[in-house]
Amino acid sequence: MMLGAELSALLRASNPLRRPISRSWTCLPCRHANYRFQQRRGITTSTPGDHKKPYYVTTPIFYVNAAPHVGHLYTIVLADILKRWQLLLGNTDAKLLTGTDEHGMKIQQAAEAQGMTPQALCDTNCQTFKSLATACNASYDHFIRTTEETHKEAVRHFWEMLQHRGYIYTAKHEGWYSVSDETFYPASAVQPTLDPATGRKRITSIETGKEVEWSSEENYHFRLSAFQDRLLEYYDKNPDFIRPNTYMRQIVQVVSSGLQDLSISRPSTRLSWGIGVPGDETQTIYVWLDALVNYLTYAGYPFPPGQESRHIWPADVQVVGKDIIRFHCIYWPAFLMALDLPLPRNILAHAHWTINHAKMSKSTGNVVNPMFAIERFGIDGMRYFLARDGPMTNDSDYDNHFIAERYKKGLQWGLGNTTSRLLRPRRWKVGKCVSWATQGQLPEETDLDMEQREMLEDLPEQVQIEMDNLNPRKALDHIMGAVAQISKYFQATEPWNMADRVDPDQPSELGHVIFNIAESQRIAGILLQPFMPEKAARLLDMLGVARTTEKRSFKAATYGSDRDYGIPLIKLGRGVEGTLFPPLMTYD
Ligand code: MSP
Tens of pLDDT, residue by residue over 452-498, are 999 999 999 999 999 999 999 999 999 999 999 999 999 999 999 99
292 lines ligand 1 (CB under 6 A): yes
Domain range for 438: 5-34+410-578
Cα(19)–Cα(17) distance, rounded to whole angstroms? 6
Report DSSP state, residue 409: I
DSSP percent split of the chain into helix, strand, coil, nearest 5: 50, 15, 35
Atom of ligand 1 nearest to the CA of 294: 6
pLDDT tens per residue across span 155-209: 999 999 999 999 999 999 888 999 888 888 888 889 999 887 788 889 999 988 8
Cα(404)–Cα(24) distance, rounded to whole angstroms? 41
For the cut 70, the answer to whether the pLDDT of residue 413 exceeds it is yes
Cα(418)–Cα(524) distance, rounded to whole angstroms? 12
Vertex 390: Cα angle to 386 and 394 (nearest 5)? 170
Residues 559-583 have a mean pLDDT of 86
Residues 310-314 have a mean pLDDT of 88
For the cut 90, the answer to whether the pLDDT of residue 530 exceeds it is yes
288 lines ligand 1 (CB under 6 A): no
Task: Dump the DSSP string for 407-447.
Answer: IIIIIIIIIIHHHHHHHS-SSS-HHHHHHHHHTT-SPPPPH
101 lines ligand 1 (CB under 6 A): yes
pLDDT at 576: 55
Q: Is 487 within 8 Å of 414 (Cβ atoms)?
A: yes
321 lines ligand 1 (CB under 6 A): yes
Residues 445-449 have a mean pLDDT of 96
Atom of ligand 1 nearest to the CA of 359: 26
**Cβ of 41: how many Cβ atoms within 10 Å?**
8
51-65, 306-320, 502-516, 552-566: which range is least confident on average?
306-320
Average pLDDT, the chain: 90
> Higher-confidence residue: 366 or 73?
73
72 lines ligand 1 (CB under 6 A): yes
Does the N-terminal peptide bond of residue 244 adopt cis geometry, omega within 30 degrees of 0? yes
Cα(122)–Cα(171) distance, rounded to whole angstroms? 32
167 found inside a domain: no
Distances (CA, A) of 462 to 34, 66, 306: 19, 40, 40
Cα(367)–Cα(360) distance, rounded to whole angstroms? 5
Question: Length of the chain in residues, anyone?
Answer: 588
Q: Which residues pair with 171 in a beta bridge?
A: 219
Instruction: Domain count for the chain, please give it.
Output: 1
Residue 92 — very low, low, confident or very high, per pLDDT cuts 50/70/90?
very high
Q: Distance, CA 321 to ligand 1 centroid (Å)?
A: 6
Residues 287-304 have a mean pLDDT of 96
147 found inside a domain: no
494 found inside a domain: yes
Nearest residue to 438 (alpha-carbon basis) of 555, 518, 351, 505: 518
476 found inside a domain: yes
383 found inside a domain: no
Residue 1 — very low, low, confident or very high, per pLDDT cuts 50/70/90?
very low
77 lines ligand 1 (CB under 6 A): no
Q: Is 100 within 8 Å of 62 (Cβ atoms)?
A: yes
Domain CATH code at residue 463: 1.10.730.10
For the cut 50, the answer to whether the pLDDT of residue 567 exceeds it is yes
352 lines ligand 1 (CB under 6 A): yes
For the cut 70, the answer to whether the pLDDT of residue 24 exceeds it is no
pLDDT at 82: 98
479 found inside a domain: yes
Nearest residue to 415 (alpha-carbon basis) of 499, 511, 554, 538: 538
Q: Distance, CA 361 to ligand 1 centroid (Å)?
A: 9
For the cut 50, the answer to whether the pLDDT of residue 22 exceeds it is no
Cα(451)–Cα(482) distance, rounded to whole angstroms? 12
Vertex 306: Cα angle to 300 and 311 (nearest 5)? 30
Give the mutation target among 103, 143, 331, 352 for probing the ligand 1 site: most ligand atoms within 8 A of CB. 352
Cα(194)–Cα(551) distance, rounded to whole angstroms? 61
Strand runs labelled E in 75-153: 95-101, 142-145
91 found inside a domain: no
List the residue whose alpha carbon is closest to atom 13 of ligand 1.
62
Return the amino acid letter for 37.
F
278 found inside a domain: no
Residue 9 — very low, low, confident or very high, per pLDDT cuts 50/70/90?
very low
360 lines ligand 1 (CB under 6 A): yes
Cα(536)–Cα(428) distance, rounded to whole angstroms? 23
Q: Is 382 within 8 Å of 584 (Cβ atoms)?
A: no
pLDDT tens per residue across span 253-292: 999 999 999 999 999 999 999 999 999 999 999 999 999 9
Which helix or strand (DSSP H or E) is residue 491 part of?
helix 472-493
Residue 573 — very low, low, confident or very high, per pLDDT cuts 50/70/90?
confident
Q: Which residues, including other chains, have CB under 8 Å from residue 41's CB and lie 6 or more apart?
A: none
User: Phi and psi at residue 366, in whole multiples of 5°?
Assistant: -95, 55
List the residue whose alpha carbon is closest to atom 21 of ligand 1.
71
73 lines ligand 1 (CB under 6 A): no
Q: Is 207 within 8 Å of 189 (Cβ atoms)?
A: yes
Return the amino acid letter for 162.
L
396-397 sheet: strands from edge to edge = 358-359, 353-355, 396-397
179 lines ligand 1 (CB under 6 A): no
349 lines ligand 1 (CB under 6 A): no
User: In percent, how much of the chain has pLDDT > 90?
Assistant: 77
